[in-house]
Chain A
Amino acid sequence: MGAALPFAAQLLARGQFLVLIYFLGVNSWYLVLLVSSLLEMRRHMQLIADESRHLLLSSTLSPTISILAPAFNEEATIETSLRALLALQYPQLEVIVISDGSKDETVKVLVERFDLVPVKTIYEKRINTKPVRMLYRSATYPALVVVDKENGGKADALNVGLSFARGELVCAMDADTLIEGDGLQRMVRPFLYATDVVATGGTIRVVNGSEVQFGRVIRARVTTHALAGIQVVEYLRAFLFGRLGWNRLGGNIIISGAFGLFRRDSVVSAGGYLHDTVGEDMELVLRLKRLSYEQGGPGTIAFVPDPVAWTEVPESMKVLGRQRDRWHRGLADVLWRHRRMLLNPRYGVTGLFVFPYYVFVELLAPLIEAAGLITLAFGLIFGMVDWRFAALFWLTAYGLGTALTAFTLILEDISFHRYNTFRDRGLLFWWALMENLGYRQMTVYWRLRGLWKFLRGNKDWGVMERKGFQKPVGIVETN
C-alpha cells in the first residue's frame, strides 16, 4: 500500500485507525471500570459480612417506603407480582399499583383477588397528570392502594403514584419486576449511610430460564435461549461492572426504571417524571443530579449490587429490537435535554467525566462501530485494507470486550455466585463468547435505528410481550 494508495484508500485506512484507537480507548476505560468495580465490590462485601438487618426491620425509625408499580395490561402477571410485593420484608411499606388505563382485565383481577373496595382519600396533586378514575384499598391488605387512572404512559402513572405515596422514599418499578424478599432492606442502606443520597438502584437480573414460584425466583438458572442468554451476560456486565464501577469513579446517572429507590420530596420538588420522553427514568436521575449541583441538596446516586430484582427480557428479535431502539432514543433525548452539563465544570465529576462518557461511549458508539464495520468490509472487498489490520480491528473491538465480560463473570462468581451449577457456568461463558458474534452487531443496528428515530422526533414506546411467571420462563431450546 503506502504512497501508491489513492487518496480514498488513505482516508479509509486513517479512518480505520481512528476507529481502532477509539475502541482501544473504550476498552481501556472498561478496564478501569472493572478494576473500580472490583474494589467497590470488595468494600461492599466487607461491609455486609455477618450483617444483621433486624435493627432496620424492627425499628420505628426506619424510613417508610412506598412502592410505585405502574401496570398497563398486566392481567397475566399482576396477581403473582403483587403478592410477591406485599410479601416483601420491610417494616413500613406501602404498595401503590397504578393501572394506567389498562384495556384488559388488570383492575378486575386486582379487585377480585385482593378484595378491593373503592375509597376516597386526600391527596395533593403536585404534578399534573391524567385524571384518576377510581381509588381502591384492600380489605385484606392494609398496605395496598390501587389507583385506576386514564392512560398517560409510565411517567404519568408514576407521577400519580407520587401524589398518593406517603413514604419518605418511593420505589419505582415495573409491575412485572420480581424483587427479592430482602431487596428493599438492602437497597435502603445508602439512605441510612449518608444524608446526601437522593436515589439508589439495585441489580437487575434476567429471569428467563429461572424457576419462579409465587413471584419469587427460587432457583436462578441461565437460559439456553440464545437471545435471552446473551442478555443475562449483558445485564451482569452492565450492572456489576458498569454501574458498580461508576459508584467509585464519580457516581451513576442511570437507575433502572425496573427497580429504583428515590427520596420522595426530592422527586416531587423536581417536578416528577417527564411525560414527553421515552427515557423518563434516566431523565429523572440526571435532573435530580443536575438540580443538586444547581440548587444544592442531596445528589448522590448510589448503586447497591446486592438487592436483586428479576425481569423478563425479550426472546424475539423484533421485541428486543424495539426495546433497544427505545433505550437509545431515550438516552439521546436525555443527553440532549441536559446538554448544558457536557464538559461543564459547574457540574463537577458528572459534567466532566460521567456525562462525556455517556455521550462519547454510550451514545455515539453505534455510529462509530457501524462506520468501522462498514469501512472495514468495504476496504477488505476492494483490497484497501489488509487482513491483518482487519484481524487487529476485530480483536481490539470485540476480543478485548469478550475478555472483560469474562472477568465480569468472575466478579459475579466471587461475590454473589447466583448461578452455581457447572451447566450455568458453562452457559454463561458460552454466551459471553457468543455475544460478539452477531448479537452485538445487531444491537448496533437497533441503536442506530433509535438514533435515527430520535432525530425524527419519534417517541413511540412499542409493546413488550410477556409470558408471565407461572412457569419457568424461557424454556425454549434454540441452540
Chain B
Amino acid sequence: MVNRSLLDLVMLIEIALLVLAAVVFFAHGVWLFVSQKKFLRDMASARDSLTQLLTRGTINIEEIDALRRIPRDAQVAAFLEASRNLTGTGKERLRFVAREVMLLDRAQKLCLSRFWTRRLRGARLLARMDVADPLIEKLLGDTNPAVRAQAAEWAATHPAPSIISIMLGMLADPATQARFAVQDALLRMGSTITDPLAIFLESHSGLPAESGLRVATSLAEPKFLAAGLRHSASDEVGVRTAAANMLGAMGGAESAARLIELLKDPESLVRAAAAHGLGRMRHWQAAAQLAECLRDPTWRVRRDAGLALRALGAPGALFLRRALKGNDPFAADMSQQVLDLPAAATG
C-alpha cells in the first residue's frame, strides 16, 4: 500500500530536519555563549577607554585607537550607555570621541540607507548622541512612521525655528506613533513653541488643530486663548472637546464664559469637558449652570458637573444639596454620590 521508498524518504527528511534543528539550536547556543562572553569583554574595554577619554582633560590618541579596534556592536552599546548619563560638556566630549572613532559617520551613512530599518538605527544613534545633523532633520519627512517618530524624538532637544515649523506640520501625521512622538517632542520644547503654536492654531483646523490643542492644553499659555475660542466653535467634536479642555486648563473670564456656553453643546463629550474645565478653574459663578448639568441625560456629564460643583466649595455644595431634594432622581443620585466622596477623592 505504501511504497517503502516513500516511507524511507519521509523518514529521512524528518530525521534530517530534526538533526538540522538540533545542530542549529545547540550551535547557536555555543555561539551565543562565546559571543556574549566576548561582547562583555569588549564592552568592559570600551567602557574603560571611554571613561579614560571622557574624564581626562586631554584626548589621548592611543585610547581612541584602542576604542576604534573594539567591535562595532560593543562600541555602539558603550556609547549609548554613556550617552544616557551625560549632558552638557560631557556629552559634547562623547560626541567628539564618537566622531573620532567614526561612529557618527556610520550613523550618518545608515540615515541615508534605502532600508528603513537602517535609517531607524542611524536616527536612533544620532538622537541618543544628541547630534545636530541636517540628515536627521530630513528624516522628519521619512516615508516610515517609526523613522519619523525617532526623528521627532531627536527634535525635542533641537528646537530651531525650522524644526518647530516642520514639527507643527507633522501634528496631522497619519501615523499615531509619529503624531504621539511629535506632540511629546513639542511639549518637551516648552515655551519656545508658544508663539509658533499659537499662529499654527490660528490657521489650522481638523486633526492638526486637535493635536495642537492637546499640546496647548499642557502648556496652557494665554496666547492660545484666541485660537481656543475659535476652535470651540468648530464643527468637529474632537476639536471642540480639545478646545474646551484647553480653555479649562488656561482659565480666565473669557474662557469661563465660553465654557458656560459649551455646557449646552449638543455633544456630551464637549459638555463633560466644559463642566470639568469650569470645576478645574473653580469658577463659582457657573454653579447654577453646572447644577443644571446634573440633569443631563449622559452619565459622564452628570459626573463631571457634580465633581465640578464639589470643586467649587461652598457654592457648589449648596447646589448639590438642593439637587438631593429635587425631583430628578438622576441628579439626586449623582449629588449624593459626589457629596459622599471623601475630600481626597475630588482632588
Contact pick for B21, options A1, A47, A51, A409, CB 8 Å: A409
Contact pick for B153, options A46, A50, A55, A422, CB 8 Å: A55
A55, A60, A414, A429: residue with the most chain B Cβ atoms closer than 10 Å: A55
Contact pick for B25, options A392, A410, A420, CB 8 Å: A410
Residues of A within 8 A of B187 (CB): 59-61
Binds B, one of A66-74, A393-401, A449-457: A393-401
B6, B18, B22: residue with the most chain A Cβ atoms closer than 10 Å: B18
Contact pick for B128, options A52, A195, A400, CB 8 Å: A52
Residues of B within 8 A of A1 (CB): 1
Beta-carbon nearest neighbor of B341 in chain A: A120
Beta-carbon nearest neighbor of A194 in chain B: B176
* A406 contacts the other chain (CB 8 A): yes
Find out whether the CB atom of A50 lies under 8 angstroms from the CB atom of B184. no
Find out whether the CB atom of A192 lies under 8 angstroms from the CB atom of B177. yes
Residues of B within 8 A of A194 (CB): 175-177
Residues 294-347 (chain B) with a chain A CB within 8 angstroms? 299-300, 303, 306-307, 334, 337-338, 340-342, 345
Interface code B19-41, partner A: CB below 8 Å = 1, 0 otherwise?
A: 00110111011001100000000
* A407 contacts the other chain (CB 8 A): yes
How large, as a class, is the contact surface on chain B?
35 or more
Residues 173-229 (chain A) with a chain B CB within 8 angstroms? 191-195
Residues of A within 8 A of B7 (CB): 388, 391-392, 395
Find out whether the CB atom of A389 lies under 8 angstroms from the CB atom of B2. yes
Find out whether the CB atom of B121 lies under 8 angstroms from the CB atom of A49. yes
Q: A406-B18, A429-B22 are in contact. Are A413 and B29 (CB under 8 A)?
A: yes
Secondary structure of the A side of the interface?
A: helix
How large, as a class, is the contact surface on chain A?
35 or more
Interface code A263-304, partner B: CB below 8 Å = 1, 0 otherwise?
A: 000000000000000000000000000000000000000000
Smallest Cβ distance from B340 to chain A, in angstroms? Answer: 5
Residues of A within 8 A of B334 (CB): 122
Q: A121-B345, A406-B17 are in contact. List 20 more A-B contacts (CB 8 A).
A: A47-B120, A50-B125, A51-B124, A52-B124, A52-B153, A61-B183, A61-B218, A120-B345, A122-B337, A124-B300, A193-B175, A388-B1, A392-B10, A399-B11, A406-B22, A407-B21, A410-B21, A414-B28, A420-B32, A422-B29
Residues on A facing B (Cβ under 8 Å): 1, 13, 46-47, 49-52, 55, 59-61, 119-122, 124, 191-195, 385-386, 388-389, 391-392, 395-396, 399-400, 402-403, 406-407, 409-410, 413-414, 417, 420, 422, 425, 429
Residues on B facing A (Cβ under 8 Å): 1-2, 4, 6-7, 10-11, 14, 17-18, 21-22, 24-26, 28-29, 32-33, 76, 80, 117, 120-121, 124-125, 128, 145-146, 153, 175-177, 180-181, 183-184, 187, 214, 218, 299-300, 303, 306-307, 334, 337-338, 340-342, 345
